[in-house]
Structure 1
C-alpha cells in the first residue's frame, strides 16, 4: 500500500489518479471533506493537529509526503516562521517517526528547489551537489525538514528519497502560474519582450511520472533528485507558448528591466521580479542517468496543453457549466 499525504491538493490528486491507473493500492490523507478520485482509502485530517500517526502508517509500504505549507503571496500568519516550521518540519518528523515504527519501507519527501536557491545566473545550473542557500521561508523550512528526515532515517531500515522540483505547472495550477495564465487570457500587455532569462520548470505530468518511478526503483533509495522538464525557457517564451495554447496572440512589449525591478521593489514585490525576470536553471541529468527516467511529455507541448486547458475552463465558467 502507498500512503499519499496532501492527497486532496494540486499534485496529490493527479498522483493518486496515476497510482490507481498503475494498479497500486492507495491510502490518502487530506483536508477536503470529499474523497479525491483514485483512492482505496481516505483519511480526512489536519496533519498539524493530528499528533498520532501510527494508524495511518499501518500496513503501508511507501509514503509519498506532499502535504505542507506552500508559498503564500500575502502571508497573514502572526508568525510565518513558526507556521512554516509547524507544517513543513514538525509534521514531516512525526510522520517519519510513525513510519519507522510501523516498518514502512520507503519515505519519499517532496521538497523544493528553493532549498538550493531562488535564483541563478543564466549560465549556471543547480545540481544535487550545489550548496543549499534558501532565501525564502518556504525553502528554509524544506531544508530543515530534509535535514531532520535524514537524521531520523539514518539509523533505521527505512529508505529516504528526496525530490526537489522547481515550479510545477499545468492548466489547473494554483498560485502565480494561475495568475499568469489569467493575465494572458485577458490579453493584458506584458513587459517581458526583452527579458533574457532562463527558467527551469516541471510539468505536473512529468513530475507525477518521476515520483511513481521512485516508488519502486531500487536505485532511488537514499538519494536526492532535482527533477525538471530538461529544457529551460525565458519568461517571454513561456508566455508565447501559453498564449498559443489559448489560441491568442501574446501581447509582449519591451521595457527596461532596471525600471521594472525598481518599480516592483518600491511596492515591496521584488520577489515577483525575481520570479519573472531572474533565472533559475536546474540540472536534472542525475534522474535520467541513475534511474533511466525519460520525461513522458515534451515541455513545449505541456505548455501548449496548459494554455488550452485553461482556456477551456474559462469558457466553461462563462457558460455556467
Structure 2
C-alpha cells in the first residue's frame, strides 16, 4: 500500500488524522513547514516555489491540510494576496508535483466559506451551490478548488474537495474555547432566544470522512460537505457543554436584534454572526455517494472535547 502524504501534519486536524491513519495501519508521510517532530519531512514556507518532491516520493494519495487559516483580525497589507500565496499557489505547486510523482488522488480540505457566510433565511449549503465567498480566505479556497479541477481535466489526477464548517475537538481554540470557558464559569448567557442553527464537525467525523475520500472510488471529482449530521442552536451547544462539565447554565432570552446591535457597538459583529445566525450544510450527497455517515454523535464529541479541556486546564493550575 502506497503511503498517504499528509500536509499540515502537526496541525489541529493533521495531528488527529495522522493518529487515525496509524491506528488503521495505513502508511503515511507527514509533511510540515519546519519538521520539528520525529518522522516529519520539512518543506519550508508555503508558496508557488515550495519543493514537495521529497515528501511526495512513493506516495499514492495526498490529503492537503496545510493552509493559511482564517483570521478574524488580519493585519497584513494585502490579505487576499497573503491567502493566495499559501492556499492557491502552494496548493497548485503541490498538485503539479504530485502529478509528476505519479500520485493518483488529491484530497483538498477547503472550507464552507467557499459557499458563503450564512444560511439564515435559505436552504443549507451544498456542494452544488454557486460559490459566494465573502472574505479573502473563502476567495482563496475557491480559487484553489478551481485550479485543482482545471489540473485534473488536463491530467490523470483525481481531485476530491471537502468543505468543513467549524471543526471542534480536543485542543479546539478560538470562539468555541471562549464559549466553553464561559460555560465553565457559570456566567449567565443571553442566548436563550437564539434560534439560528449551526453545522459543526468533530475531529473524529472529519477525519473519518477524509480517510473515506482518500479511498472510496466514487469520491473522484466530488465536492463534499461534512458535518456531525445534527445542527445545533447555540443554546443546545451550551447545554451539551454544561452537561459534560457538570454545571448548571442560565440562558437569558435576550432578543437577537438587541444582541446584534450591542455587538455592532462593540465592534464584534463577526462574533455575533457566528453565535446568532444560521450556517448549515446539507450532507445528503456525501452520505449517499460515499456511503458514509458520521461516526460520533455531537453529545459524545462535545463530552470528549470538554474532558480534554478539563485535563489541560488542570495541568495549567
TM range (shorter): over 0.9
Which ranges of structure 1 fall in alignment gaps of 5 or more residues? none
Q: Name the TM-score, length of structure 1 as normaliser.
A: 0.93
Q: 1:10 aligns with which of 9, 12, 26?
A: 12
For residues 239 and 306 of structure 1, do their structure 2 counterparts lie closer, same or farther at Cα, with a shift above 3 Å needed? same
For this pair of structures, how many residues does the alignment match?
Answer: 315
Equivalent in the alignment of 1:182: 181
For residues 241 and 123 of structure 1, do their structure 2 counterparts lie closer, same or farther at Cα, with a shift above 3 Å needed? farther
Equivalence map 1:1-321=2 (5 Å) = 1-31=3-33, 33-35=35-37, 41-43=40-42, 45-48=44-47, 51-121=50-120, 124-318=123-317
Residue 304 of structure 1 and its aligned partner are, at CA, apart by: 2.4
Residue 253 of structure 1 and its aligned partner are, at CA, apart by: 1.2
Give CA deviations for 1:82-141 in whole Å, capped at 9, x if unaligned.
111111111111111111111110000000111001100266211111121111221111
Report the Cα distance in structure 1 between the residues aligned to 2:109 and 2:75, rounded to whole angstroms: 25
SS in 2 for 1:146: helix
Report the Cα distance in structure 1 between the residues aligned to 2:48 and 2:92, rounded to whole angstroms: 14
- State whether residues 244 and 307 of structure 1, in contact with CA within 8 Å, keep that contact through their aligned partners in structure 2: no
- State whether residues 245 and 306 of structure 1, in contact with CA within 8 Å, keep that contact through their aligned partners in structure 2: no
SS in 1 for 2:171: coil
Report the Cα distance in structure 2 between the residues aligned to 1:282 and 1:51, rounded to whole angstroms: 33
SS in 1 for 2:199: strand
SS in 1 for 2:62: strand
Q: Name the TM-score, length of structure 2 as normaliser.
A: 0.94
Residue 78 of structure 1 and its aligned partner are, at CA, apart by: 2.3
Which ranges of structure 2 fall in alignment gaps of 5 or more residues? none
- State whether residues 230 and 298 of structure 2, in contact with CA within 8 Å, keep that contact through their aligned partners in structure 1: yes
